[in-house]
Amino acid sequence: MAEGVAKSFARNYRQKLKETIEDDLELELEEGSKDEGLEYAEAAIRHAEKETSESLSLGNSDAFDKAVVRYLREAEMFFDPVSTVVRARKRAYQTTDRDTYQAMEGLVHNLNTMHCLPGSERIWVRRMETGEVGLISMQELNDTFQLGKYEAISVNPKTGEAEFKAITASADQGSGRTLVTIRAKSGQIVRVTDNHKVLSVNKDTGEIFKDVPENIESVVIPRWIGVPEVDVLRSDALCLSELDAEMSGSDNPILTNIYDVPIEGKVFSNSGEEHVFDISVADNENFVTEHMIAVSNSRAGAQV
């Protein structure tokens, strides 16, 4: 961050010195003409760096700005170079401060949205080259990821239908994260970071939504995938008869494609040295884990 702030200040100082020179000399940049304000600013900075043996930075000594003032004064310009340089540095400070604040806000946002799964957690994928469908750990997927190599089983949030969607990015989010083990009433489990959103069904609207584990009371499990070998495994793993009995009579059309399974328990732990990972999935922005629980993704390709 410190290096970034230094570069930001140097860039802003050049720009603000150029602008104050233009203001004081009432320069107007016409199309095709040379940028006199920028030329004066760059020349003055080069002179100061040479004279003081300092690079332009946030922590320059007073000698640096005095050298800039001397250069502009010797150029015999009709304005007060002391005022010009003072205003330029002050404006550069203010702009850098604002830029740094915005960058920190972005960093905090990224940290808050780095939701992911531990490396040992497995998800269902289809290898696009062969069409083979199977389980792969988040660690292995990240290690072998290539664009166009994998598709994830994903739930369409509007219809509840299971679909294959391309995995467009994978990211290692580090270790030492708080994990939540979610156990569904029918026995399925999934481990995610405590801020990783999981799919659920809104009891009032009947719509699929996503939220962090602390705020949901049920999980979404596809009724079928459309791949015979996977559907057989899924049927064996789920207590389908019990779930069907509980959901019989519902007029929610989405429940013809998914199970809305109550959560039986949540256990918090720490990932320790185990790394956690996230992926980005096209369109639906969610994927199905080993026990068929659907979880959201955090657009890993845009961050992490």
Residue 302 clears pLDDT 50, i.e. is over it: no
Average pLDDT of span 259-280: 92
pLDDT of residue 29: 55
Instruction: Please give the Cα distance from 168 to 148 (Å, whole number).
Output: 7
Average pLDDT over residues 9-13: 89
What mean pLDDT comes out for the span 131-156? Answer: 93
Report residue 4's pLDDT band, with 50, 70 and 90 as the boundaries.
Answer: low
CA distances from 60 to 67, 167, 227 (A): 11, 48, 66
Domain parsing of the chain, residue ranges: 2-112, 117-302
Instruction: Give percent of the chain above pLDDT 70.
Output: 81
Least confident of 13-17, 123-127, 297-301: 297-301
- Single pTM value for the model: 0.61
Angle, CA of 233, 237 and 240, to the nearest 5°: 105
- Average pLDDT over all residues of the chain: 84
Indicate the pLDDT class of residue 303, thresholds 50, 70 and 90: very low
What pLDDT does 240 receive? 54
Could you read off the pLDDT of 146-160 as tens digits, one per residue? 888 999 999 999 999
Tell me the per-residue pLDDT of 166-223, one tens digit each, with 9 for 90 and over: 998 888 888 888 999 999 998 899 999 999 999 999 989 999 999 999 999 999 999 8
Least confident of 57-61, 89-93, 192-196: 57-61
Taking the C-alpha atoms of residue 188 and residue 104, their distance in angstroms, rounded to an integer, is: 39
Residue 212, pLDDT score: 93
Mean pLDDT of 56-74: 90
Nearest to 121 by CA among 293, 2, 299: 293
Has residue 290 got a pLDDT over 90? yes
Domain covering 117-302, topology: Endonuclease - Pi-scei; Chain A, domain 1 (2.170.16)
Confidence grade of residue 225 (pLDDT, cut at 50, 70, 90): confident
Instruction: Summarize the confidence of residues 44-59 as an average pLDDT.
Output: 91
What pLDDT score does 242 carry? Answer: 60
CA distance 45 to 52: 11
pLDDT score recorded for residue 26: 75
Residue pair 170/260 in contact by the 8 Å Cβ criterion: no
State the pLDDT at residue 110: 47
What integer pLDDT is reported at residue 107 of this predicted model? 46
Q: Closest Cα to residue 225, out of 150, 283, 297, 153? A: 153
pLDDT at position 304 is 29
